[in-house]
Amino acid sequence: MMKLGLILILMVCSVISLEAQKQLILLKRESVVVRFTEGEYLRCKLKNKEKREGKIIELTETQIITSNDTLAISSIESLNVKGKRKINVTRGIGGLLFIGGLGYFAIDQINRLIVDGADDFDEKGAMISLSVAATGAAILFIKSPYKKVYGHTLKTIDYTSRFYRLD
């Protein structure tokens, strides 16, 4: 009888702990853009342009309880997703343009010194290569860390959702 009682208590405790694990997800066309779990640090901008941050203590259907404040999910305009982004093609192209532009400039200067023996500066080649490098740098480095919620669905899910994932 004692073993049965102990097993029953363990089963109840495991169900309670599973139900307590909720996640905040940002959906775009039925795919998860970003995922936050309880215990993670959250930075966001509200619709009234205030910035809020804090460690997520609890997630409910309508609000996020953080270590500093309680936020309504409907009042969030954008989320800071720095460090949570997936690798995308545009950032790869930006890196390629940046490195390619600087590499072309360096190779052109070395080539002019070795082959031509000339000390003059080729303005046309420098302008093209540095323009390509500047374009790549703009694609790479000028990126807001915040992801707008507009056009996406921000919701709280639990372990029964098909979007739920253990990390």
- How confident is the model at residue 94, as a pLDDT? 85
- How confident is the model at residue 12, as a pLDDT? 57
Handedness of CA 33, 36, 40, 41 (dihedral sign): positive
Q: Where are the domains of the chain?
A: 2-82+145-157, 89-141
- How confident is the model at residue 95, as a pLDDT? 86
pLDDT values of the chain reduced to their tens digit, one per residue, 167 residues: 666 665 666 665 555 444 557 888 888 888 788 888 888 888 888 889 888 888 989 888 888 888 888 888 888 888 887 766 666 677 788 888 899 999 988 888 888 888 766 666 678 888 888 898 998 888 877 766 667 777 778 888 888 888 888 76
- Within 8 A by CB and 6+ apart from 88, the residues are none
- How confident is the model at residue 16, as a pLDDT? 47
- How confident is the model at residue 9, as a pLDDT? 66
Neighbours of 24 (CB within 10 A): 21
Q: How far apart are CA 103 and CA 98, in angstroms?
A: 8
- How confident is the model at residue 118, as a pLDDT? 65
Q: How far apart are CA 143 and CA 95, in angstroms?
A: 13
